[in-house]
Structures are given as C-alpha cells and as structure tokens.
Amino acid sequence: MSADRSEGARHRLAGHLADTGALEPGWRPAFEAVPRHLFLPPVYWEFTDRTAVERDRAADPEGWLAGAYRDTPAITQWDDGDQGAGMRDFTSSLSMPTMVASMLRDLDVQDGHLVHEIGTGPGYNAALLAHRLGPDRVVSVEIDKTVADTARANLTAAGLDGVRVVTGDGAEPTTDEASGRADRLIATCSSLVTDIPTAWLGATRPGGILVAPVATLFGGGAMTRLNVDRDGDGRTAAGHFTGPSDFMRMRQQRYQAPPVDAYLPGEWPGDATASVTGLDPEAIGDSWLAQLAIGTRLPDVYYRRAPYQETVTWWFFDTTVTSWATVDSVPGADEYQVRQSGPRRLWDEIHTTWNTWQHAGAPGYQRFGLTLTRAGRRTVWLDHPDNHWSPPAG
C-alpha cells in the first residue's frame, strides 16, 4: 500500500468501525477524511496480541502504512521520550480506532460545540474533532512539549492547523477568554478514580458532558460519561461507566511503589500469619472488571504478581506501607496458601470485596457509575448514585 492509496484504507477502516457499532454515522466523514498515517512518526510500534511490533517506514513502507489503518493502537513514544531508558513503558500513542470512535460517540457533540481535549498525543483525535466541528472549536492540552510540538506539525500537515494546542497540565485546563468553558470535555489519558480532576467541572459548562477513562491502583479501567448538572453552576457531574478502557495514566498520577523491603524489613515471612483460601488470585487477574470492582472499593491497595516455575505468588500492599499479604497460586489446587501481616488483613478485604461483587451478580461496567463534585468528592456507585460502592474520596 502506498500513501496515495490511503483513501481506500480510510474508507475500509471506517466501514469496519461502523460494522462494530462503535462509529456513529455523524462521525464517518471525519474518519474517512482524516489520514491517520499523518499522525504517525517514521517508526512506531503497533500493539497487537499484547506485543509491540515495530513498524519502520524506511524498512517496510507497505507494512508501516498498513498498520496505520488497522484497528490497533500505535505506540509513538516510550519512557517520556528518554531514548536511553530501554523502552520499558509506552507514554504516548494513537489509541485503537474502535476506542476513539466509541469515546466520540459518548461525547455526543453538536454543531457549534466547543470541545476541550486533555492529552493531545500525536493529534489524531483532535483532528477528528476539528473536521467535525471546525478547528476553531477545539482546544487540546498536552503536558509534553515535544509531543505537543509534534501534534501541531501533524495537524498542519492534515490541513487543520487552526486547532489550538496548549502545552500545559491537563489537570488544570485553560478557561481563559480565548477558549472559554467547553460544551464537551474529553480526556485521552486515564486518571485514578480517587483523583479525577475536579477542575474539569470548572472548565465545562453546566449541562455539558465529560468523557474520560478512569482506573485504580489495583487494576482495571473504565470509560466514564458524566453529565454536568445544569443547576448550581456545574458543581456536580455524574453518570454511568460505558465500558472497559486501558489508557496511559496522567503523568501527575503515576504511582511509584516502595520496595518490598519497606513492608518486610526482616526475613520472610516475618510476623505474617498463615491461613488458606479457596479463591485463586488468578481468577482476579483474569478479570479486568473484577480488578476494577475491587480497586474502586479498596482504592489504596495494589498488587504485584511474581511467577516462579508453576507457582505464582501474588503480593498485595497498602499505600501507607503498613500491611501486606501473599497468596500462592498453584495450578489445579483447591486451596491456596495465604500469609498476612500488618494491622489490615489485605487478602481478607480483597476476598470480601470479591464475594460482595459476586453476590451482586458480578455487575458489569454499565451498572457502575461515578459522581464528581467541585468540592472534591468522587464516589463510585452501583446502579444509582445513592447506592455507594466505594467510600467517597476527597
């Protein structure tokens, strides 16, 4: 495939997205018109089958362009641009087109709307918004100066250089006279459920909509669609989760876990008490939804998974560095060895939350919701806002 044949690839991608139900008819012209490959660098990594596959335009121009129009994410930056870091974590990307289309569907834009985007990345999502609404109706905030500069260049190459790309902290989006309060706000980076920025309410008009991915330290992630109340000058936003999501964390919210020695300074197993459990932690690891349900109820707990031969030891920690637990998962076992230390019985808390979720019918994403207030309270609920699933944060 050559660059001058990308029009056909755009139409095929849009057709695929329409077939999946992710792409609404009103967005199809934008997906067919905006060349996705213009927002990719000469070398990117196509994330497919949980593997990052390098696509090098100089070495394989056909493969490079073909990957641009598959329904896969494309990694465009590793380790915040640190070339010597060894490609450990990807830190900027073009999201999977299905996810992009689904988020834009949730955003429910109308002609004349002003949209604030948090996390410009290479600029493709901003370009789609600009094609639909006009470049002067899109303001995008990107924390990484190099990424922001690249996005501006990409938007210019796509003929959409009227988009305003601001280099700054997306947790505090601009609301100056040049932009004003948005009708819609969309984030393309995830925030912790306990830390979704309250400033986003102040940046959005009463009656507006926020679409943003959220996650927990424990794992799991969901897309939220929050309706900003029309009364009270937009002091509250609430809405259901719309489905799973897996986005890069906002840079300000990356968690640096202490070393295990901070929890267990002496020899293993220290003062831990032993017991057994019938719940295999691998069952939790296999369910993104279960991790979200546990993580929203226990927002200060996280885990590490340590395979050794046939056994996988699951370590659980609290962020206050007071308690830890381990569970050894052995294939085919009926019971699993548990050790717990500290004032909290972390595995007991996790197991109880698992049981609560199971007894509620293992509710899916759409039964959960989130309420955010400008006073700083963030509450996850089940089915309706009065039925709190998590303790209010903030």
Active site residues: 95
Compute the distance between CA of residue 164 and CA of residue 117 in angstroms, rounded to an integer.
10
**For 95, which DSSP code?**
P
Compute the distance between CA of residue 155 and CA of residue 360 in angstroms, rounded to an integer.
47
Q: Which is it for the CA torsion 104, 106, 112, 116, positive or negative?
A: negative
Structure tokens at 285: 């690891």
In residues, how long is the chain? 394
Query: What phi and psi values does residue 89 have, to the nearest 5 degrees?
Result: -130, 135
Compute the distance between CA of residue 292 and CA of residue 389 in angstroms, rounded to an integer.
11
Question: Which residues contact residue 122 at a Cβ distance below 8 angstroms, ignoring those fewer than 6 apart?
Answer: 39, 40, 41, 76, 92, 93, 94, 147, 150, 151, 154
In angstroms, how far is the first alpha carbon of the chain from the final one?
52
Helix or strand run (H / E) with residue 275: strand 273-277
Compute the distance between CA of residue 251 and CA of residue 144 in angstroms, rounded to an integer.
10
Question: Which residues contact residue 384 at a Cβ distance below 8 angstroms, ignoring those fewer than 6 apart?
Answer: 369
Q: Verify cis geometry, omega within 30 degrees of 0, for the bond prior to 97.
A: no
Give yes or no for a contact between 201 and 235, defined as CB atoms under 8 angstroms apart: yes
The total of other beta-carbon atoms located within 10 Å of residue 16's CB is 18
Q: Which residue has the tokens 């009463």?
A: 206
